[in-house]
Amino acid sequence: MSYIARRGLSTLIPPKARAPPFMTIRSHPTPHMILTVSAIGAAQDAARMERVVTFYAGLPRGPAAPVKPTGLIGRYQARYFSGKNASGVPLVHAIGGILILGYSMEYYFHLRHHKNHPH
């Protein structure tokens, strides 16, 4: 068995719960060799594991609460693009915005034209 495989297996089995080194695969354990609760010891990193368990026990369970959108663009996206609310209204808004911008530019440049060239 390679060193890496032995190292991997040794981390799974606590040190005091392993079979004694004199036991082989062919020998059967006798009643006095069977492990008892007192023979099973805590791993050396039990304190670290306790901290990990405590950390994960403190985390909230279940799905995360939906995040409320903030800002103008975030609220607009949540209202017209996300989930069941998806619609073609943003396309209408874009067309209307282009029309308003085009009309205002046309009006501004027409006024500049009349400043020097009256009809």
pTM: 0.43
What is the Cβ-side half-sphere exposure of residue 85, based on CA atoms within 13 angstroms? 9
Q: Which tokens hold the place of 80? A: 């017209």
- Give the burial string for 46-67 (b: 16+ CB within 10 Å, else e): eeeeeeeeeeeeeeeeeeeeee
**Is the distance from CB of 29 to CB of 19 less than 8 angstroms?**
yes
**Is the distance from CB of 23 to CB of 33 less than 8 angstroms?**
yes
Per residue in 31-57, pLDDT tens? 555 554 444 555 566 777 888 888 889
89 vs 34, residue with greater confidence: 89
